[in-house]
Amino acid sequence: METINLKLNAQLETWIGPRDQRVRGWLLLDNYPPTFALTVIYLLIVWMGPKYMKYRQPYSCRGLLVFYNLGLTLLSFYMFYELVTAVWYGGYNFYCQNSHSAEEADNKIMNVLWWYYFSKLIEFMDTFFFILRKNNHQISFLHVYHHATMLNIWWFVMNWQPCGHSYFGAAINSFVHVVMYSYYGLSAIPGIRPYLWWKKYITQLQMIQFFLTMCQTMCAAIWPCGVPVGWLYLQIGYTITLMIFFLNFYFQTYKKRSPSRQKEHMNGSPVSTNGHANGTPSMEHSGHKKLRMD
């Protein structure tokens, strides 16, 4: 395993430069196999969980859902606030920012981005709640792809670009998650659910974040400042895959909606419009099922 790890590091260093030594010794960051193993365990649970629950009654999880979603709302707000303030006071350049030019801001951003990386592990619980509540139709390819890849990609980010230009995608995604998880947490409370008005904007907000992240990444290629070009290509390529999948989801969900679904939505149905039933009533037996995307 150590030989594989060394070969992987050597190949990556020839493409995107040497690893950043400032994060050595940080939890889960020294070696890649633990992150990979956690992802494999996640995928095994995704595969085996529905089989285990097949002949069992679904769990409500309402209290846990409120605690979990609102907890992630607070964590996301913390990360967004800390990143924005560090970037602002550290004088970061929006167009291109290398990772060794603002020591105090860099250190603060590295610490926040570690929490961002770790939050991707916490967010595996999104899928586990679907399994426990037998909302298996919510476990789409996009849902699993997004959760499985984000943890792994951010392991590499933290080892090669733990600050500098990497701040933007994490900051804007944290803001989106404030909006998203606050809705999901509040929607788990039946008395509040009818008053939640912003669910229809979540998917649109997600697609806007991909577009803005793409633009900001391309700026570093147009006005270079030392960020490895290979790293920029990797980020652009991954963002393109998310844009394609989310556009397909948006088209399938909103553009092909039947007239009855449109009427149901206009009447304030509690059905998730962003593909997330995490906290809303199970629609296991409805005719048209939406998939959670985040």
Q: What is the mean pLDDT of residues 278-289?
A: 42
Q: Residue 134 domain-assigned?
A: yes
Q: Residue 163 domain-assigned?
A: yes
CB crowding 188-197: b at 16 or more within 10 Å, else e: beeeebeebe
274 pLDDT higher than 60:
no
Q: Residue 279 domain-assigned?
A: no
pTM for this entry: 0.85
Q: Residue 281 domain-assigned?
A: no
pLDDT, tens only, 104-145: 999 999 999 999 999 999 999 999 999 999 999 999 999 999
**Number of neighbours of residue 46 by Cβ within 10 angstroms:** 20
For 61, the domain range is 23-254
pLDDT, tens only, 196-250: 988 878 988 999 999 999 999 999 999 999 898 888 999 999 999 999 998 888 8
Q: Which of 74, 81, 292, 276 is nearest to 187 (CA)?
A: 276
Structural domains counted in the chain: 1
Q: Residue 277 domain-assigned?
A: no
pLDDT, tens only, 62-110: 999 999 999 999 999 999 999 999 999 999 999 999 999 889 999 999 9
Q: Residue 275 domain-assigned?
A: no
Count Cβ atoms within 10 A of the Cβ of residue 65 and give its class: 0-12 exposed, 13-18 middle, 19 or more buried. buried
Ranked by mean pLDDT, the top range of 90-94, 110-114, 186-190, 281-285 is 110-114
Q: Residue 267 domain-assigned?
A: no
- Known catalytic residues? 146
3 pLDDT higher than 70:
no
Q: What is the mean pLDDT of residues 183-197?
A: 90
Least confident of 45-49, 71-75, 250-254, 266-270: 266-270
Q: Residue 113 domain-assigned?
A: yes
Count Cβ atoms within 10 A of the Cβ of residue 107 and give its class: 0-12 exposed, 13-18 middle, 19 or more buried. middle
| Cβ 217 vs Cβ 232: under 8 Å | yes
